[in-house]
Amino acid sequence: MVETPKQDGSAAGAPPKDGAAAGGSGARPEAKAPPKQNPVFKMMGLPNFRWRLPSRNWMIFLTVVGSWTTAVVYDRREKKRIQKKWCDLVSDIAQQTVNTRELPRTINVILAAPPGDSLAASQIYFKEYVKPVLVAAALEYDLIQGRREGDVRYGVAEQIRRLRRKKGEKGDAKQEGEEEPQPDTEQLLDAFRQMTGVYAAPGVKAYIPTSAYSSAQLSPYTPNILEPSQPFHQYHLLGFLKTPIRMWHFLNQRKLADECGRQAAAVVLAAYRPYHESQADDSLTSSSPSSEQTHHQSWEQQTVNEVDELTWVKSVRKPKKIDESKERIWMADVVLDQRIASRMRRFELDPEEEARAARIGEGKEQGRAVQPIDLEKQQSIVGNLDDADA
């Protein structure tokens, strides 16, 4: 007996397909149609995305990137706000008039390359943290840059010698028992000048060893108070193991901007104090029951840059195999003459000015500078042209 197939293609008497039941009670639910895509995105060829929660890996990535970005943005915003506070504190000095017969105040800025790096690091540091305050006060400055070890000392010493020659001071005669210095470039140049008949003007002695400071004669032109100075700490770290510390400094540039802005404002406002002096005791113990105790003076200038020395690379402290006869200035102890150290001064901001800067930062007080008037926004008043008095 042959069964006749039905119109839907199924044979008569065959069992029903899966999901087909009487009355449709067991029918499979139809799949929900995908949401309608934006025609603009469809014309651009973008797929039809469906919003859903990111996976675990994406959550970790977004959390790390978002936290780092938030910390950087917050730090840079606070850095600009702090720098603006110190710039507003000294901006009124730029509007002060200067007599035509007087020269504007000029300061000397000494930049030295950090050990293990180039001079560009110090230049960027000065341009980013110190220069904005000097520019806000319209203060002129001269740069003394040192690319190698000893360049800064040579540049400053030559500037002092030039000033002493200008005042008419002559050099001392050669003392008895003094060793003849080795010929260098300057001596060869002087010998060539003598051969050609060109003689240099008499000047001060080129170099005095630190051991001869106590017996050296002080220049009669030495002022009672020397020009103030201000050291700036540069947190310049090198090395792979110091990466976490560099990351911390990268996220806290606002603190460095506050410190440098305060010191630069003290330089602009010319507020200074004497360098501190302390008495240090050294007990020299020996096998004998009696102990000898000595007292020596310790000046603030000798320890002011110890924080920076801790961040130097290890290669600076290693002995050099080449040119061991040359002096190691970076690792040498700071030796001061008491007659000079007692006359040195250091810039320090007054408490009144620091309190005013805090009020400016909080928005409770405005800077003393007069805001410029925008003439383009002002309406021009012509008046009555027919009136002769107008």
User: What is d(CA 143, CA 134) in angstroms, rounded to the nearest whole number?
Assistant: 13
Predicted confidence at residue 378, as pLDDT, reads 73
Per-residue pLDDT of the chain (390 residues; tens, 9 = 90+): 555 555 555 555 555 555 444 455 566 777 777 778 888 888 888 887 777 888 999 999 999 999 999 999 999 999 999 999 999 999 989 888 888 888 888 899 989 888 888 889 899 999 999 999 999 999 999 888 888 887 888 888 888 888 887 777 765 544 444 444 444 566 677 677 777 776 655 555 556 777 787 788 887 878 888 889 999 988 888 888 889 999 999 999 999 999 999 999 999 999 899 988 876 554 443 343 333 444 456 888 888 888 888 888 877 777 666 555 566 777 777 888 888 888 889 999 999 999 999 999 888 888 888 877 777 777 766 666 566 555
How would you class 87 by CB atoms within 10 Å of its CB: exposed for 0-12, middle for 13-18, buried for 19 or more?
buried
Model pTM?
A: 0.69
Instruction: Give the DSSP letter of residue 126.
Output: I
With tokens 């061991």, the residue in question is: 324
Amino acid letter for position 215:
S
Predicted confidence at residue 295, as pLDDT, reads 46
With tokens 């220049």, the residue in question is: 219
Residue 130: alpha-carbon gap to chain centroid: 7
Residue 45's CB is within 10 A of a number of other CB atoms, namely: 6
Predicted confidence at residue 186, as pLDDT, reads 60
Token representation of residue 263: 């010191």
Predicted confidence at residue 263, as pLDDT, reads 93
Do residues 344 and 272 make contact, with C-beta atoms less than 8 angstroms apart?
no
Residue 292 β-bridge partners = 284
